[in-house]
Structure 1
Amino acid sequence: MDLKLAGRVAVVTGASKGIGLAITKSLLEEGVKVVAVSRKLSAEFDALAGENLRHAALDLMDPAAPGQAVDLAVEQFGGLDILVNNAGGPPPGTKLPRTSFFDATDEDWRAMFEFNLFAVVRAVRAAVPHMTARGEGSIINISTVLARQPASMNVDYGAAKAALNNLGKVLSEEFGSQGVRVNTVSPGGVLTAWWTEEGGAADRMATMVGADRDAIMDTLAPQMMNMVTDRLVHPQEVADAVLLLASPRSASTTGADWIVDGGFLKSV
């Protein structure tokens, strides 16, 4: 199916690995011109180099960074059609999981909201005028099922993403009549560096429950999350949902929250 994305311009945050890398790669394959935002590079990202890709080495904890990414897209490619607010999770220097409400200080809460909510607010503020000038645009915010299924683990993260979900609904209402669609994609457990890197979630959970890291990722984590597919989600599966929402094939989809969670959420 032709997604009718060729020639469009996108900004993707958190683009050097995991979900963001899969989104960036998939957009490029569809002929989209991409400004990819990340603090660091990766070998997998470097392999995507080409005339339709620009890297913006920005830290989204800097209030100026989201606007700079949008400005680069306009300068390099002449406008902006798609914004994917993918960067999120633990702020730089933070290790998750946290297992109790009392594990997070005021400063931890501020950093979590800065990274997962305020950076998105700033990116949207910069992007919307360019989209409304074109008469259309698609904004996709990457959230989490923890925004809809409260849990004592990573409570500050879940709260920040719940606010993000609310923001997406509000934005879709305000800007829909001007051609700008705003949707949310909420993954469950996704097999990314957050799990796999040394000292990451798999290692930390393995220490908590007395298991090895591979058992956590292959069996125990999906079981603990009651995922009916019995496995963690692949980043490409999230990217596929993002591309469809970015496409004009989804012209009547706005204000939605798409779940890609292996059956974690059971509510109707």
Structure 2
Amino acid sequence: MFDHLAGTLTGRPGDRPPLVLLHGLTFDRRQFGPLRRELDALDPDRPVLSLDLPGHGGSPRQPDYRMDGVARLLARAVEAAGLDAPVLVGHSIGAVIATEYAARFPARGVLNLDQPLLPGPFGALVREAEPTLRGPRWRTVWERLRAGMGIDALPAPARELVELTERPRADLLLGYWAEILRDSDTDLRARRADALAAIASRGIGYRWVTTSGPAAPYAQWLSGLVPGIETTVLPGGHFPHLGHAADVAKLATGRFG
């Protein structure tokens, strides 16, 4: 345990910034196994900390899962691990948390794995599904979203890893999506803009991995807030760290800022 979060730490202090790996909603840190093997091959001594998000894996449940609160728990875990100014590699909602962390705490960079920062159509879907999420058929919402993640296109070992690490619960979906359910798109857009502006003002590098070319308005919004943001397209499903582990490892260990 690193303060309140379960994790795995490897490597030793050196002149390269440590890496902190944050998984997506309902999964756990074991999903980073293939990426960690690639990272170990590239830079075996670099400190790498993979964490179970609150309420996931070996990390205890919390009263709520608001992004700012989760970012604070993450900062305490990073401090407990003896790490300073890491590069945060976040997949899916882990990338939102990584962004919030970098806006508030010392960081060297953020690698966002396939996570738009604005709710858009996804937010509308979640709000429409709220009554179902609060009832006995909540899992149908998760299965609907899961069907669009491109899991079937992954190699067999990667598909098995997704299934092994997946533990959906209604309290996690409602908790981590609380800001979407509670706040308007306008409020969320302003909050994300403030976070990105803080990241840019502190010279923290930001990289975004997406499965297809970003829509022009969103790309313009991002680049307007974080000049010099790097966007990499890795075709495939929602799990680039599984489908393109070697490419993601190179991005994570590259120079930020």
TM-score (normalizing by structure 2)? 0.42
Structure number with greater CO (CA < 8 Å, separation at least 6) is: 2
Which structure has the larger Rg over C-alpha atoms?
1
